[in-house]
Chains A and B, each alone.
Chain A
Amino acid sequence: MHELSLHILDLFENAVHAGASTVLMTLEENHQTDVLKIVVEDDGPGLDVPPETAVDPFYTTKNNKRTGLGLALFCSTAEQAAGRLVLRQSTLGGLAVEATMQLNHVDRIPIGNIAATVSSVVCTNPELNLLCRFVVGDEQYLVRVSDVARELPIGRRNGLAVARRVSARIGSGIESLHVTQ
């Protein structure tokens, strides 16, 4: 994967596949400590195997597949930028996947287009209660998809219209916080 947003998309898909109804993504930059942290957490059933099994590339929850590369590759991506991947229980009740990386590490891949990633998830999962939080230093910006949907007249709250608005909202949040690429 050449962008972190693709790993994030994979985590969103995992959460939906696990049956979560609420998913919170946090992208946090700390320039003082030079750390980039990405957390995707949900209210799904959580892990039913040890974390080390879940990151094994030959472990999958899908019956028709022999490999499960998502978490394994994200783990490598984090490690190549002097970071790590931790799987823990979320305060939402389900799984939290937390990746930390050195923000300015030469092998840290770019964040990519988060706005497009999130809006594609909104478009295909209109019922999902999705929250995106961006934190840079002391400042933060939260986009709650359900709030964005409510801004639209009831008859126009379709997946595409909400997705477009979410994309614009995330774009302006990223711009106002000067999130690093």
Chain B
Amino acid sequence: MEPKVKSAMQMKIQVRKKKTIVAKDRLFSFLFILPSILAIAIFVYGFIGWTGYVSLSNWNSQIPDFSFAGLKNYVSLFHDFRFQADLRNTAVFMILFIVLVLGMGLMIAVFLDQKIKFENLFRNIFFFPMALSFIVTGVVWQWILNPSTGVNLLMKKVGIEPMWYTSVKVIPGVEWGKIQVGIPIAVIAVVIAAVWQMTGFSVAMYLAGLRAIPDEVREAARMDGATEFQIFRKIIFPLLLPITISVIIIMAHISLKIFDLIYAMTGPGANFVTDVPGVYMFETTFRGNYYASGAAIAIIMLLSVAIFIVPYLLSNRKGES
């Protein structure tokens, strides 16, 4: 009996020891993430709160004025021609950008997945634009698409003079509010540059997704007499859905926040056909010293990104637990 009792006691002690170790581990791990919690609390959430506070104030000159303005800054924004144009441009840019990035990314990924020769080489070629910053992309594509340089110069030699890069046309251009609603032709130029840069990312994602689908599944489907097209539609696409959603989320938040590409490439554009909230925010705040209006634009941008990100994060958490 005695040894048994002893061992039970020993076990108890061990458990207690373990518990204190666990508690200590928790304490230390907490201490080690404390700096980043503090930094994020101040520099991210603190400043978001501050921006929100400023956006409700009357601070619209170099002299700070924190008196409460209510939603005045937001209301005047939505009545503003430039901001309405920004919302249209962002929506058009986002839709075209996501559709093209997904479509071309999937196409290239499927092509690369065919166990072709020089796969590595091709993969690197497609990924490489990702290594550039949007500023570089903007400058390069501006040279390429500018009416007085690049491809248009070549086309001019043949007798075609396309002015779409500087076009102020909006198709179909239905009058709504203060603006014409539709697809501004000039936005397409920016979409081309953005797609060129970001397609590599969706290729990488899709390629990883395709590689993760076991060959057995396809084999089994083939044995059951499914055609290649059916395999894609019924097996591969559904299995790629989570990846597609991730890519959409990431591309959506890139396109809602886009600033550098537009700034380097076209600027606000004639009649604001290529303007986006990011550029407007920068000019309002740092050129015009309209700090409250600028903050209001920033908050609207944050909310629009949150519409995409928050449901995604919530569903991810559900999936984990």
Whether A and B are associated in the same complex: the answer reads no
Contact surface of A with B, Cβ cutoff 8 Å: none
